[in-house]
Amino acid sequence: LKQVFNKDKTFRPKRKFEPGTQRFELHKRAQASLNSGVDLKAAVQLPNGEDLNDWVAVHVVDFFNRINLIYGTICEFCTEKTCPVMSGGPKYEYRWQDDMKYKKPTALPAPQYMNLLMDWIELQINNESIFPTNVGKSREVLK
């Protein structure tokens, strides 16, 4: 069981913030508040004087890293044979559609679905028009 909950094991490499950047400082502040036992509502509030888009971007990347970590603990147990369908229990089946390769909602084994989903999320996070890394660039997020 110890190997299942290894906090250093992730499905994909953990996304990092560049030290010395505003987002790195915001990430440190968010981590400190979450680890201090502070009220969660206060922990996620936009700090005074900070840009809302940067604050949201930090939390999106942090959420991606946490999901990545959680999925990394189970991905070796969820194979195409053991998880032939991406589902949320017996009532819900998730189908993949990307309008490129999968033009219609398509049933996929859970590992394949997760790979496509994580690839898609990384494309969004790395898209400079959605999540610019330089201060002063225009943003599409929350407009």
End-to-end Cα spacing for the chain? 45
Q: CA nearest 129: which of 137, 119, 121?
A: 137
The answer to whether 75 is annotated as binding is no
The answer to whether 78 is annotated as binding is yes
The conformation of residue 80, written as its DSSP 8-state character, comes to T
Q: Tell me the C-alpha distance between 49 and 57, whole Å.
A: 16
Query: Which amino acids are annotated as binding site for Zn(2+), given as ranges?
Result: 78, 83
Query: Which amino acids are annotated as binding site, given as ranges?
Result: 78, 83
